[in-house]
Amino acid sequence: MMANIQQLNDLTTQVRRDILRMVHAVNSGHPGGSLGCTEFFVVLYQNIMNRKPGFDMDGIGEDLFFLSNGHISPVFYSVLARSGYFPVSELATFRLINSRLQGHPTTHEGLPGVRVASGSLGQGMSVAIGAAQAKKLNKDNNLVFSLHGDGELQEGQNWEAIMYASAKKVDNLIATIDLNGKQIDGTTDQVLPMGSIRAKFEAFDWDVLEIKNGNNIEEIIAGLTDAKSRTGKGKPVCILLHTEMGNGVDFMMHTHAWHGKAPNDAQLESALSQNYCETESDY
C-alpha cells in the first residue's frame, strides 16, 4: 500500500533525524549527500519500487536498487530500516566495530537490503546493468533502479557502462544521477567540469528526463512514475535529479563543507530543531 504525501513528508523528516544522529554519534560519516537524497529514497522505497516482504539476495520477481555512491550510506540504512528490512534500533551501531552498518555498504555482514558493496565510486552503473540483463535472461519483467553522484561521473568506468547499456538495449534500467553540483573538494565545476550531463547521456542514446526539484516529494513521484513509463522501449532511462546537498539543515546547505563532516553537539541540536516530526520515533 502506497504512503500518502503527509506520510512521506513525515518519514522524510524522521530519516533526516536518523542521519544526523548516526553521523553525530560516531563523529564520522557523510550527512550532506544523505540529506540531499532523503526524499528520493523515501519515495522510491515507499511508493515506487515493487518490493517483496523480507529479503532475498537474488531479487527475482521484484524491483532491485543499487546505491553506487555508497558514502551516503546513512540515508540508505535509515530508509531500509524504516521500510522493515532490519530493526530500527540497529541504526545505533552505525560505523561501530563489527557492525553490519559500516561507512560504506558491504555484503559480507549480510545486511538485508544490500546487494552489492559500494563506495569505490564509478562501479555501480556496471553492476546495475548486469542485474538488469540478468532479469531479462530470467524473463523477469521487474525493473532495476540505481543512484549515482554527479561527481562520481568523473570516473571513466561509468561511460563504458553507459555506452554498453544503450548498445545492448538495457531498457529495464532507471539510473538516477544526484545533481547537487558538489563533491568533497568543492563544486563539480571547480574539481572537473563535466559540461551538460544531459547532452552526454543523450549522445550515448539514453532516454533522459529531469526532476527540477529533487527535494520535493510530489515532483519525485511524478518523475519516477514517468521514468517507469519509459522503460521497455529499447533505451535505458536516466533521471537527472537536482538536489541540494545538506537539504533541511540551514547551515549544511549551499556548501560542500558537509560532504563528509559530522555535526558537534550544538550543531546536532540546531539541526534536529529544524526537523521536528510529530510521529517521531528515534532509535
In the numeric block, the cell 551516503 is attached to 72
pLDDT of 61 higher than 80: yes
Helix (H) or strand (E) holding 254: none
- Enumerate residues 6+ apart whose C-beta is below 8 A from 97: none
Q: Where are the alpha helices (DSSP H) in 117-206?
A: 124-137, 157-167, 188-191, 197-203
pTM of the model: 0.97
The DSSP code sequence of 32-44 is HHHHHTHHHHHHI
In the numeric block, the cell 553521523 is attached to 23
Q: What confidence tier does 101 reach under pLDDT thresholds 50, 70, 90?
A: very high
pLDDT of 1 higher than 70: no
Output the pLDDT for position 237: 99
Q: What confidence tier does 246 reach under pLDDT thresholds 50, 70, 90?
A: very high
Helix (H) or strand (E) holding 266: helix 265-273
Output the pLDDT for position 282: 84
**What is the dihedral sign for C-alpha 258, 263, 266, 272?**
positive
In the numeric block, the cell 571547480 is attached to 190
- pLDDT tens, 113-164? 999 999 899 999 999 999 999 999 999 999 999 999 999 999 999 999 999 9
Average pLDDT (95-122) is 95
Residue 29, sorted as left (phi over 0), alpha (psi -120 to 50) or beta, turns out to be: left
Output the pLDDT for position 276: 87
Output the pLDDT for position 2: 79
5-273 maps to CATH 2.115.10.20: no
Output the pLDDT for position 162: 98
- Cα separation, 120 vs 275, whole angstroms: 31
pLDDT of 280 higher than 70: no
Cα dist. 37→23, 56, 159, 206, 225 in Å? 16, 25, 23, 23, 17
Give yes or no for a contact between 12 and 52, defined as CB atoms under 8 angstroms apart: no
- Enumerate residues 6+ apart whose C-beta is below 8 A from 278: 10
3-state secondary structure of 236: coil
Output the pLDDT for position 44: 98
Q: What confidence tier does 283 reach under pLDDT thresholds 50, 70, 90?
A: confident
| Beta carbons within 10 angstroms of residue 5's beta carbon | 11
Higher pLDDT among residues 278 and 236, named by residue: 236
139 burial via Cβ count (<10 Å: 0-12, 13-18, 19+): exposed
